[in-house]
Every structure is written in C-alpha cells, then in structure tokens.
Structure 1
Amino acid sequence: MANNATYITVTGNLTRDPEGAFTASGVFRARISIAVTPRRFDKQAGEWTDGETTFWDATAWRALGEHVAESLNKGDRVIATGTVTTHRWQDEATGEPRSRVVLDLEDIGPSLAWATTNVAKATRTNGRSSGARSAPAGDAWAVNGPTADNDVPF
C-alpha cells in the first residue's frame, strides 16, 4: 500500500454475485459491488432511519478473488477493507476524460452480526489457492484446532 493511499473499511451488502475471471496474464480477479447505507436512530421520532446509499465497486485479486467468488453471494452482508483507487481514461466516442473510484480489496468477509459461518482453511498448491477445501495432511490446526503442543504463541 502506498503511503498516500486512502485506506477504508466499509460494511454493506453485495448487490450482485461476484464476477470472477482470469485476466489475459492469468491472474484471477473478482469484481463485486457493495451497497453501504448508514443507519441512525432518530431520538425525536423514536425510530431508525436510513441515510443515502453509497455503492462501492470493489476488486479482489488472486487467491482473495477466488475465495470471494467461491464464498460470497448477492445480498451477503460483508465487511471489506482496502485502498481507494481512481481509474482514469479517455472516452473513445467523445474524447472526454472519465474516471471511476474503485475499492481494491485487501480483505473481506461476512459480517457475523448478520450471519454465522463455518471457516474452512484454504490450501495452496503450486502457488495457487485451491479455495476453501481440505487442509494439508498433518495440519493439526485444521484437524484438531489448537492443542498444548501447537497452541497460539500470543
């Protein structure tokens, strides 16, 4: 992450299923859209009110992108962190400058305030993620969880 990058965390709902594909150079990319609607309690009215919804286009790369494509669906409540990036280009038809703000994801997961989940450890084979599948043979953490012999060192 660059020193001048804007790093944010958003909590919201996916507006569509993740769109995953490999780029021409063979890197996996998943694109999602997150709707973020602030909610506040109005003391005078005695009720919750929704603010204006903001829609964030977000991109997850490589193993994170694969996990997003395999794990998340439209409507899922997520917590996402990443850097805000502005993409700029010239419109081919009009020659006008165009721009779009995107959240380049560093991490994302379901909001446990709205759902429950069973975490499955992802494995890596030949530098590529195999997604949320079986853990490597002999992985005591995946099979038994922490024990006295392999307890967390903190």
Structure 2
Amino acid sequence: MAGDNSVTVVGNLTRDPELRFTQSGQARATLGIAVNRRWQNRASGEWEEQVSFFNVVCWREMAENVSETLSRGNRVIVTGRLEQRSWDTQEGDKRSVVEIVADEIGPSLRWASAEVRRNERDANSGGYQQGSSQGGSQGGSKPAQQKPGPQGQSAAKPAAEYYPEEEPF
C-alpha cells in the first residue's frame, strides 16, 4: 500500500511513561522502548546482539491508561505509525526526530501475566471516564489469579518450549 508506514515493535520500556497535557487539554504520554535482537553468527558461532531504541507517543485516553498502567522494564507490544517531527533550537539549529505514534499498546504476555479492566464509558461524551484503567502486572508483580476451567482443570495451557536466542529461520 502506498504511503503506509505501519510498524509493530516488541521491547522493554526504558523509562516510566511521562504524561503531559497540551494547552487544549489533550493527554499525551511519551515513553521509550528498547528492542533487542540477538542471534548466533553462523560463521563464528558467537552470539551477537543489537539494540534499537524508539520513542513512542500516545494520545488521549490511551495516554492516560499507559501512564497509569505501564512502568520501566515492562515488556510491551506497540503498533503504530512512524512520524517525523522537526523543530528549531534556541540557537537556531534544526532538529528532527522519528517517533512511533501508537495506535495500540499493551503488555506482552510471553513472560508475564496481566489483569485487564475495561474503562467505564461516559454516556454523555462517548468517551471513557477517567480513573478506571487497564491494569497490568509484569516483572515482580503478583500474577493474576487463574480461574479453573471445566472439571476443575486450570484454564492455562503449558507454553511451547521457546528459545529467544535463536532465529526463527
């Protein structure tokens, strides 16, 4: 598709989301994500690693939910679009940065569990009320309780064995 610049990245937050509001009252959250790529060099047999860092921007309700839910170190999945922003410094130098403007963001459940709570909708504005959020737990947080499935069996199924150090091809 011409002009399509959609991206999906999976990585760890490098800092806590920073929530700010524009002069018109729009919520804007910024966060950093580190994407690690590790592979074994077939010629030398040595493990090699490359880390890429991205700035992510979230707007409106998503910005508020992200700032209330996610924190540094959380593994997240971000889908969005690339956007270049340019400005002039006080010294007159031109600067630009490419950011991911998030369409969706959430915790990765590969090595963590999360509890999701739907925000209550505000009937008057069609939006969501503040104060409710999508909650998540990762890292050192206590995982959510699993509800037993049919005949008392656990609803969780064992994960397939996965070696993140290996390339899938």
Check whether TM > 0.5: yes
Residue equivalent to 1:8: 7
Structure 2: unaligned runs, 5 residues or longer: 135-169
Secondary structure of 2:62's counterpart equals helix
In 2, the alpha carbon distance for the partners of 1:129 and 1:10 equals: 29
Specify whether residues 87 and 114 from structure 1 end up closer, same or farther in structure 2 by C-alpha distance, changes over 3 A only.
same
Residue equivalent to 2:36: 37
Q: Deviations over 1:64-122 (max 9, x none)?
A: 111101110000000101110000112221x2221011110000111111211111112
Residue equivalent to 1:66: 64
In 1, the alpha carbon distance for the partners of 2:111 and 2:11 equals: 11
Q: Percent identity?
A: 40
Asked if 1:120 is matched to 2:121, the reply is no
TM-score, normalised via structure 1 length: 0.75
Q: Is the 8 A contact 2:17 2:67 kept in 1?
A: yes
In 1, the alpha carbon distance for the partners of 2:129 and 2:30 equals: 18
**C-alpha root-mean-square deviation of aligned residues, in Å?**
1.9
Asked if 1:132 is matched to 2:133, the reply is yes
In 2, the alpha carbon distance for the partners of 1:19 and 1:35 equals: 16
In 1, the alpha carbon distance for the partners of 2:27 and 2:59 equals: 6
Specify whether residues 118 and 4 from structure 1 end up closer, same or farther in structure 2 by C-alpha distance, changes over 3 A only.
same
TM-score, normalised via structure 2 length: 0.69
